[in-house]
Amino acid sequence: MDAFLQKAKSLTSFLATMEPQQKNTLLLAMADALEAHQEAILEANAKDMDKGVKNTLSAALLDRLKLTPKRIRGMAQAVREIAALKEPVGRVLEGWVVPSGLRIEKVSIPIGVVAIIYESRPNVTSDTAALCFKSGNICVLKGGKEATHSNHAIAKVLQDTLAFNGVDPACISLLPDETREGVATLIRQDAYVDLIIPRGGEGLIRFVSQNATVPVVKHDKGVCHTYVDKEANLDQAMEIVLNAKCQRPSACNALETLLVHEAIASDFVPRIAAALTQVGAKVKGCATTQQFIHVDLATPEDFHTEHLSNALSIKVVADIQEALHHITTYGSSHSEAILTENYTTAEWFLNAVDASCVYVNASTRFTDGGEFGFGAEVGISTNKLHARGPMGINELTTYKYKVYGKGNVRA
């Protein structure tokens, strides 16, 4: 592990100073190579899928794992979109001259060696590799064990493209030891690794937070809420709630608990519960909700749970303060929404709720790098520092101060 990470670290200056045009040319070549080597990637993915089926992985896990020609074209397209983005390195964020005469520039730079631990979703391998490459970071990737053949095939395509073009393939690497012990070692390598991004469930996040000596940006679970205010457009609310819960229930930004203002509950709760049930959602509710519909009682444990399925809890609240209190108690600082036509209420919610993304009159499913215009995402940071929400190329940079003098000495 030491020699591998030492090599990664040794490449940081090389990639940090690569010309934007060269990075973009290489990224476009990687995109073409993904499509050209589609058969090899699909073959590797078939091995993972066979094993997944034998190991009776859930339908949601198998769907995440599965690659198709269309999905590979999507991966290539994401890499092309990343290539087309504005150069993230070398942006002058601020600049000024101080009384001593020094000219100071605050300039964006790559973070260095970024290690990402993620679930068994093979597209994350090419997405994160491309985002790191564009932002001048050396990446060390560790995907889920269920996707190992797929990840190796994808990484090989990307590395072969670099090698073919005379660039060290170690700019994009998979962690050589993919075991839990390998992860345990990786997260303590602060001499070589500048940032760890754990993207996954509670076990992963807890383990990394408690054991890492390398700085961590958590990509934690999403216990997401939507609050339907008494002044919401209820027809629009129906569409948004259905989308937030049902469009892809296994995603971290899907809705888990619906909060409804008591003034509209007798009208809205039966309507939305019927619509949700019709599309297969499993609804529970608080005691007040049970006055309007026949459902099981939602317990505090339900309110704490990220279901990753079509389950949803409904809670009727007296006002926006109670909605906020519920979100603060049970939320995971991921994505929260208010549906209201009242501008003042909306602004209050936007300012009061502490989450990475807060929405007005929209589905929480939009918390996504692609949807935010970032081409792709490393994931959704639920940290406050150093990045928050969908992490794209700009969030993969930090900064330094470039200080220009003319023989200045301090008095």
Ligand X SMILES: NC(=O)C1=CN([C@@H]2O[C@H](COP(=O)(O)OP(=O)(O)OC[C@H]3O[C@@H](n4cnc5c(N)ncnc54)[C@H](OP(=O)(O)O)[C@@H]3O)[C@@H](O)[C@H]2O)C=CC1
**Residue ranges in contact with ligand X by CB under 6 A:** 117-119, 142-145, 180, 183, 199-201, 203-204, 207, 219-222, 252, 306, 308, 379-380, 382
Least distance between ligand VHF and beta carbon 205 (Å): 13
* CB 248, CB 312: distance < 8 Å: no
Copy the structure tokens of residue 404.
Answer: 């220009």
Least distance between ligand X and beta carbon 74 (Å): 17
Examine residue 146 and tell whether it contacts ligand VHF (CB under 6 A): no
Which of ligand X, ligand VHF, none has residue 368 at its interface (CB below 5 to 8 Å by kind)? ligand VHF
Measured from the CB atom, is 24 or 313 closer to ligand X?
Answer: 313
Radius of gyration of the chain (CA): 23
Q: How far is CA 151 from CA 148, 270, 327, 330, in A?
A: 5, 45, 37, 35
Q: Give the whole-angstrom CA distance, residue 227 versus residue 321.
A: 11
Which candidate, 379, 377, 380, places its Cα nearest to that of 389? 380
Orientation of helix 20-36 relative to helix 148-164, angle to 10°: 130
Element (H, E) at 285: strand 282-285
Measured from the CB atom, is 199 or 245 closer to ligand X?
Answer: 199
Least distance between ligand VHF and beta carbon 229 (Å): 25
Q: Give the whole-angstrom CA distance, residue 280 versus residue 310.
A: 7
Which of ligand VHF, ligand X, none has residue 180 at its interface (CB below 5 to 8 Å by kind)? ligand X
Which of ligand VHF, ligand X, none has residue 134 at its interface (CB below 5 to 8 Å by kind)? none
Listed ranges 138-146, 187-195, 251-259, 331-339: which one lies at the site for ligand VHF (CB under 6 A)? 251-259
Least distance between ligand X and beta carbon 58 (Å): 9
Cis bond leading into 386, ω under 30°?
yes
Site for ligand VHF (CB under 6 A): which residue of 48, 119, 127, 395? 119
Sketch the per residue contact string, 46 through 85, with ligand VHF: x for CB under 6 A, - otherwise.
------------------x---------------------
Least distance between ligand X and beta carbon 394 (Å): 17
Tokens 């383990």, residue located = 207
User: Count of residues binding ligand VHF (CB under 6 A)?
Assistant: 10
Which of ligand X, ligand VHF, none has residue 225 at its interface (CB below 5 to 8 Å by kind)? none
Least distance between ligand VHF and beta carbon 322 (Å): 28
Site for ligand VHF in 361-390 (CB under 6 A): 365, 368, 377
Element (H, E) at 133: helix 123-134
Q: Give the whole-angstrom CA distance, residue 25 versus residue 281.
A: 46
The residue whose Cβ lies closest to ligand X is 200
* Four-residue CA torsion sign, 128, 133, 134, 135: positive
* Four-residue CA torsion sign, 78, 150, 185, 383: positive
Examine residue 334 and tell whether it contacts ligand VHF (CB under 6 A): no
Listed ranges 42-50, 190-198, 248-256, 318-326: which one lies at the site for ligand VHF (CB under 6 A)? 248-256
Give backbone dihedrals phi and psi of 380, rounded to 5 degrees, phi first: -110, 110
Element (H, E) at 63: helix 59-65
* CB 152, CB 128: distance < 8 Å: no
Which of ligand X, ligand VHF, none has residue 219 at its interface (CB below 5 to 8 Å by kind)? ligand X
Interaction site with ligand VHF (CB under 6 A): 64, 119, 121, 250-253, 365, 368, 377
